[in-house]
Amino acid sequence: MKKEESISLEPRPQNPIESLIRVERLPHMWCPGCGIGISMGAFTRAVVESGIDQNSLSVVSGIGCTGRVAGYLRLDSFHVTHGRAVPFATGLKLGNPKLKVVVYSGDGDLMAIGGNHLIHAARRNVPLTVILINNFNYGMTGGQFGPTTPMEAFGTTAPYGNYEYPFNLPYLMDVCGADYVARWTVYHVRQLTRSITEAMSKDGFSFIEVITPCPELYLRRNRLGDALKEMIYLKENSRIQNGAETRTVAIEKSRGEIIIGKFVDRERPGYIQSLDGHLQKVLGARYQRPPFWEK
C-alpha cells in the first residue's frame, strides 16, 4: 500500500502581475510562439513597477491579433473598430485628462488603416503612450503584406515578394514630433519593460515599436524557421544603439541587423497644455478651465 502523499494547504504565492490579467479568459488565442503575450507580460510588469494608479489607467486597442490584449487585461480597456484606436484614445484623454491612456495594437491596425490618426496624434503631441506590435504582416486576416513588410518578403497578397518600401516607424514618429520614441524586440523583455515605464511617465506623445515573431504566417511563408529560431535571430542580430539617428534604423530587408534602443526622449508642451494655454491667452478672464481638467 502506497504511502499517502501529504497535500500542502499553504496558499499559492501570487504572481505580482496576476491581478492585472483576466486569468478566467485563459488560455489565450495567440498561436504558439507568438510574441504578443511576451509583450503583454512586459507591459503588466511596467504597470506594477511604475506604481501607476491602476484605477486611472485605460488601454485602447483596435482590430487584429494584438487588439486582443485589451480583453486579457483586468483594466479599463476598450476594443474599438479597425484603425480607430488612436482617435478613440484621444477623445478619452481629452474627456478626462487625469487618465493615463495607452494604445496597444498592431502594425496593420495602427500604421496601415489607422496611420493617418497616428501621425497626427504625434504631431499634436497628444499625451498617449502607443505600443505598436510589429510582426510585419496582417496576422489575423491571413498574412497579407502591409506598410511594415520588408522588401522582397512574401505574403498572401505578395506571392512574388513585396516590392514596396516599408515605413521606418521610429523615423516617422520622430519627424512627426513624438516626445519619446523607442524600438525593442520581445527577446529584450527587461529593456522593453523599462521603456514602457519611461513612456508612460511622459506628458506628451510616446511611441514604442515592438518586433515580434508571427510563426504561423510570416515566418512559415518566408521559410524563416519556427519561433525559437526567430528569437535566436532577434538575439544575435539586434544591436542596442540608444540615441541613434532615427533615419538610420529602417528595417528594409527580412534579414539583417536590427537597430533597437531608445532613440528620442525630449520635452515639449503636450496637447492639453497647449490647448489650455491658448484658450487662456485668447479668452483671458472669460476662460473657465473645465473642472475635470484640474489635477
Distance in angstroms (rounded) separating the CA atoms of residues 140 and 258: 25
Say if 149 falls within a structural domain: yes
pLDDT at 76: 93
Say if 11 falls within a structural domain: no
pLDDT at 294: 65
32: CB partners within 8 A, 6+ apart:
215, 227
DSSP state of 32: T
**CATH number of the domain that residue 266 is part of:** 3.40.50.970
> Residues 146-161: what's their mean pLDDT?
94
Q: Which three cell numbers stand for residue 143?
A: 498574412
pLDDT at 246: 98
What residue numbers bound the domain in which 143 lies?
Answer: 23-289
Q: Which three cell numbers stand for residue 55?
A: 484605477
Say if 18 falls within a structural domain: no
When pLDDT is cut at 50, 70 and 90, the band that residue 202 belongs to is: very high
pLDDT tens digits along 27-50: 899 999 999 999 999 999 999 999
Beta bridge partners of 180: 206, 265
pLDDT tens digits along 255-276: 999 999 999 999 999 998 888 8
Residues 66/260, Cβ–Cβ less than 8 Å: no
Enter the pTM of the model: 0.92
Say if 235 falls within a structural domain: yes
pLDDT at 26: 87
Rounded to 5 degrees, what angle do the CA atoms 282, 286, 291 make? 105
Distance in angstroms (rounded) separating the CA atoms of residues 225 and 251: 19
Which residue did the predictor score with more confidence, 12 or 278?
Answer: 278
Number of domains comprising the chain: 1
pLDDT at 295: 56
Q: Which three cell numbers stand for residue 268?
A: 515639449
DSSP state of 113: I
- The overall average pLDDT reported for the chain is 92
Say if 15 falls within a structural domain: no
Say if 264 falls within a structural domain: yes
Say if 12 falls within a structural domain: no
H-only helix segments in the chain? 36-50, 69-72, 85-95, 107, 115-124, 169-176, 189-200, 220-221, 227-237, 271-283
Distance in angstroms (rounded) separating the CA atoms of residues 269 and 223: 46
Say if 184 falls within a structural domain: yes
Coil, helix or strand at residue 283: helix
Task: Select from 181, 168, 171, 184 the least CA-distant residue to 235.
Answer: 184
Distance in angstroms (rounded) separating the CA atoms of residues 219 and 209: 19
pLDDT at 9: 66
